[in-house]
Amino acid sequence: MRLIPVLSTLSASLLVLAACQQEPAKPDAEYYGTLEPFAEQAVYFVVTDRFVNGDESNDQRDQGGEQKTFDRPVPNAPEGMHANVGYLGGDFKGVLNNADYIRGMGFSSVWITPIIDNPDAVFTGGKPVDWGSFWTDKGKTGYHGYWGVNFYKLDEHLPSENLDFAAFTKGMHNKNLKVVLDIVGNHGSPAFTMPEDHPAFGKLYDKDGKLIADHQNLRPDQLDPENNPLHAFFNKKQEVAELADFNENNPAVLEYLSGAYLQWIDQGADAFRIDTIGWMPHEFWKKFADRIREKHPGFFMFGEDFRWNAADIAGHTLPQNGDISVLDFPLKKALGELFENAGSDYASVKDALYLENGPYANPYELMTFYDNHDMPRMNASDEGFIDAHNWLFTARGIPVIYYGSEIGFMRGRAEHAGNRNYFGQERVDAAPSHPIYQQLQRIAKVRAASPALQRGLQLNVELQDDKAVFYRVLQHQGVNQIALVLLNKGDQPADFTVAQFLQAGSWRSALSGDVHTVGDGEALKTSVPAHGVEVLLLDAPVTRADMQLRLNKLMQHKGNH
């Protein structure tokens, strides 16, 4: 007798659920993670000097006098290991010569390190560079490009005859590759603690080559900006190592930087990566972004704020602070722990996605990565790299892969321990035979062909142990695509049965072309190989009301508005 009300209630609930699932979705409903055009991109990041030496005539091997700037090994390297803080010859020609290699891997953009003129000498101040050290610059050069002394001038190590920056970007564009230019806003070159003042360091020149600022080898607290115009560009506080710290409150700083970077956009830069964005206040970057976008509406920028807490870095993404995306450091931390360690659990990344009610303006516009040049490279097995790429190229965000990761290059190595070692043409030529490369190319090309993977909402079904199941859904202006992503990072094949939110129709594998026909009320059953991925596509609008309701909520709560 007591079961009757329970059964009646249960039956009624099931009828309501069935009715909801059969109710057609509104044809005009729109679902998307982002409409940002740059979200279509997949980015390959190179430290230009360390990628490929395409032209030895620009190596400047005699530069620096007694302390040559070319080929400076890091001291105290363990036997069989090496790193270098001198120039090693990588240049525009080395990148352009390998544009087909990069494009053929499935990438559509190349992020290059700063191109501005750096000191033509070795820094003699600061703490000595040693194996594995961090923020140590004594004995180091500006091979990386971040020590600018003239932001309007191209560094001499990069161009070749008939290949300046404008010609380089034109050549890359002809290969269907965009160029992301790394820029610096908060600092110049190392500027103090040298045994004696050096004419190459702590200076700043304008577009005409005129000296406009000089640290004069003085510590920041010794500067006198009120009485010495050459000090007015700098702050009287020490921030990053011995670098000259720009005064964000001096209007001339904004004028100088925005003018320089507008010049490089005019020569073909397609987007900016902003170094150390967190060292300047939001007000500065808002003014900078407004100046850039006044002449180039919608110009995409993303910043580096090396902090692990999303609340600390999300402010950059807000419209009132410049609407600048960021590298997703909180997710990077979760991904490193996930793919470096056997037995890890996909559930550990769920919170770092911030798909709902997060602090970012839009989590789908974040740049996702697992390592870069400022931290140890990911210390994973080949299978760990493959699993990481399968995730990055299917989950929310814009993927960024650091040069050499396609072969697990220098895995686990930090900055002064091999992280930025020279890659070279031989490794480029051999890479296509490497299993990491082959699987990366496979999934990168799937993302390149799928608008849902590029811009769709992410609706998680299961993130647990070695398995991840989620949808990416795009329904916008006549483009309708639902992608069902199945990931298996385990060492054995895994069986998947998916019923939740599954829409009837013919689901086509983006990898094999096989078609899985699903009827109303049926589940989809398939197997995914060890360390494998499956992406099933349904090119149709959403017709399930339960999925529509869930997507409506994701649309409403995906960003901080």
- CATH number belonging to domain 455-558: 2.60.40.1180
Q: 78, 413 in Cβ contact below 8 A?
A: no
DSSP state of 310: H
Please tell me the distance from the alpha carbon of residue 206 to that of residue 84, in angstroms, as a whole number. Answer: 31
Q: Within 483-535, where are the H helices? A: none
| Helix H or strand E encompassing 243 | strand 243-245
Please tell me the distance from the alpha carbon of residue 44 to that of residue 372, in angstroms, as a whole number. Answer: 11
Q: At 36, which amino acid appears?
A: E
Please tell me the distance from the alpha carbon of residue 34 to that of residue 320, in angstroms, as a whole number. Answer: 19
Q: Where are the domains of the chain?
A: 41-194+250-451, 455-558
For 32, the token pair is 């998307």
For 105, the token pair is 């891997």
Q: 32, 456 in Cβ contact below 8 A?
A: yes
Pick the closest to residue 390 from 521, 291, 511, 300 (CA basis). Answer: 511
Q: What is residue 165's three-state secondary structure?
A: helix
Please tell me the distance from the alpha carbon of residue 219 to that of residue 474, in angstroms, as a whole number. Answer: 55
- Residue 359's alpha-carbon distances to 1, 287, 557, in angstroms, are 52, 22, 11
**pLDDT of 27:** 58
Please tell me the distance from the alpha carbon of residue 389 to that of residue 487, in angstroms, as a whole number. Answer: 11
Pick the closest to residue 495 from 540, 526, 465 (CA basis). Answer: 526
Please tell me the distance from the alpha carbon of residue 433 to that of residue 303, in angstroms, as a whole number. Answer: 34
**pLDDT of 26:** 62
Q: At 443, which amino acid appears?
A: I
Long-range contacts made by residues 303-309, C-beta under 8 angstroms, separation at least 24? 303/273, 303/274, 303/275, 303/277, 303/278, 303/327, 304/273, 304/274, 304/275, 304/276, 304/277, 304/278, 304/374, 305/276, 305/277, 305/278, 305/329, 306/276, 306/278, 306/374, 307/278, 308/333
For 33, the token pair is 């993670």
DSSP state of 460: E
Strand blocks (E) in 113-175? 116-117, 150-154
DSSP state of 31: B
Q: 556, 359 in Cβ contact below 8 A?
A: no
Contacts (Cβ under 8 Å, ≥6 apart) of 467: 346, 486, 487, 488, 489, 490, 494, 496
Q: Flag whether the pTM goes above 0.75.
A: yes
Task: Characterize 323-358 residue by residue with b for buried, 16 or more Cβ atoms within 10 angstroms of its Cβ, and e for exposed.
Answer: bbbbbbbbbbebbbebbbeeebbbeebeebbbbeeb
Please tell me the distance from the alpha carbon of residue 54 to that of residue 37, in angstroms, as a whole number. Answer: 32
Contacts (Cβ under 8 Å, ≥6 apart) of 341: none
Per-residue pLDDT of the chain (561 residues; tens, 9 = 90+): 222 233 333 333 433 344 344 444 565 799 999 999 999 999 999 999 999 999 999 999 999 999 999 999 999 999 999 999 999 999 999 999 999 999 999 999 999 999 999 999 999 999 999 999 988 999 999 999 999 999 999 999 999 999 999 999 999 999 999 999 999 999 999 999 999 999 999 999 999 999 999 999 999 999 999 999 999 999 998 888 899 999 999 999 999 999 999 999 999 999 999 999 999 999 999 999 999 999 999 999 999 999 999 999 999 999 999 999 999 999 999 999 999 998 999 999 999 999 999 999 999 999 999 999 999 999 999 999 999 999 999 999 999 999 999 999 999 999 999 999 999 999 999 999 999 999 999 999 999 999 999 999 999 999 999 999 999 999 999 999 999 999 999 999 999 999 999 999 999 999 999 999 999 999 999 999 999 999 999 999 999 999 999 999 999 999 886
> Same CATH fold, 455-558 and 41-194+250-451?
no
Give 41-194+250-451's CATH code, choosing from 3.40.640.10, 3.40.350.10, 3.40.50.300, 3.20.20.80: 3.20.20.80
